[in-house]
Structure 1
Amino acid sequence: MTYSTPSSSLVLPSQPLRSLPLHFSAACLTGALATDIAYWQTAEMVWANFSAWLLTAGLVLGFIAAIAVLIDLTTGRLHLDGVGWLYILGNLAVFVVALFNAFIHSRDAWTSVVPIGLTLSAVAVILMVINAVMGRLLQRQRSKVYVS
């Protein structure tokens, strides 16, 4: 007696190139907010130094993610609509705020963090949360295309 072996395949969309550096950049910028709060509470200079390093790492990774977005756009892996462009502009806004924050953190002592550096770190994290919601909307729109 012969039995037929059913086969199935599941086609999953590949992850975009920007995904990994963008998430690590967000983690670094969130860590910068945490270390800014620690510096504000303790006035230990090591926390301000950690903030400066985390901001630098977040900016470098954000730049790598921006290059990956350009690659995704030119290869056709990323198609943008209204929400997509808002997502790109939101990520650009986070990058600009983090860049200004890095310049503020290059100053000496207390004024490098309190109050402007701490405020810019909080603004960057709030913008990242908004972008995460828009990114989730984009992901849902893409998954509807693959399910249909």
Structure 2
Amino acid sequence: MTVTTQPDYRCTPSPLHAILLAGTVPLFLGALLSDIAYYNSFQIQWTNFAAWLIAGGLLFAGLALLFALANLIRADRKAGRPVMYLVLLLVTWVLGLVNAFEHAKDAWAVMPSGLVLSVIVSVLAVITAWLGLSNLRSGGAR
């Protein structure tokens, strides 16, 4: 009697994809720290720093999103963690864009919604990077 099992295909992101994905975390985290500094000091320059860091995070996340979409299109099985990773990355990018629009306001009008959005986007970026940089499986039920 022979037993045949489906192989577990592990797919790690390419080096460029990994750099772009990992780069989103410090950029969005830096924006969060800038928002916290602005909340505590009222120095308007911290909002400018946050806006630029969010723009960089959006650029990196957008390019990583393109890589994730291309990987999903090429995948044999389009379900499970790769789809969850793509959706989570898309949600991170969309909320980051809303955060960028929020940071386009003048001075204190950014607070507290900009700070709350920065917290949410930073947490999502960390979760997405953790999920994306771990081994994605396209086979099996894990």
Return the alpha-carbon distance in structure 1 between the equivalents of residues 38 and 30 of structure 2. 12
Is 1:53 equivalent to 2:49 in the alignment?
Answer: no
Query: Structure 1 residues 23, 80: closer, same or farther in 2, change over 3 A?
Result: farther
Give, in whole Å, the separation in 2 of the partners of 1:71 and 1:102: 26
Are residues 124 and 22 of structure 1, via their aligned partners in 2, closer, same or farther at CA, if it must alter by over 3 Å? same
Structure 1: distance between partners of 2:12 and 2:81: 20
Q: Distance in 2 between matches of 1:23 and 1:132?
A: 6
- Secondary structure of the corresponding residue to residue 58 of structure 1: helix
The match for 2:83 is: 85
Aligned in 2, Cα 1:111/1:68: closer, same or farther, shift over 3 Å? same
| Larger CA Rg, structure 1 vs 2 | 1
Offset of 1:135 from its aligned partner? 3.1
Change (3 A) 1:126 1:36: same
Moved more, 84-93 or 28-37: 84-93
1:1-148 map, 5 Å: 15-16=13-14, 17-74=16-73, 76=74, 80-112=78-110, 114-135=111-132, 138-139=134-135, 141=137
Number of equivalences: 129
CA RMSD of aligned residues (A): 2.5
Q: Distance in 2 between matches of 1:72 and 1:141?
A: 12
Q: Deviation of residue 14 (structure 1)?
A: 6.9
Q: Which runs of 5+ in 2 are unaligned?
A: 1-10
Distance in structure 2 (CA, Å) of the matches to 1:46 and 1:84: 39
Residues 6-54 of structure 1 deviation map (CA, whole Å, 9 limit, x = unaligned): xxxxxxx774242111111222111100100010010101100000000
Q: 1:80 to 1:128 in 2, by over 3 A?
A: farther
- Compute the TM-score of the two structures, normalised by the length of structure 1: 0.75
How many angstroms does 1:128 deviate by? 2.2
Deviation readout 1:61-113 (Å, 9 max, x if unpaired): 11111222233334x3786431221111111111111100000000001112x
In the alignment, the residues of structure 1 paired with residue 97 and residue 65 of structure 2 have an alpha-carbon distance, to the nearest angstrom, of 14
Identity %: 33
CA distance in 1, matches of 2:131, 2:29: 18
Structure of greater relative contact order (alpha carbons < 8 Å, 6+ residues apart) = 2
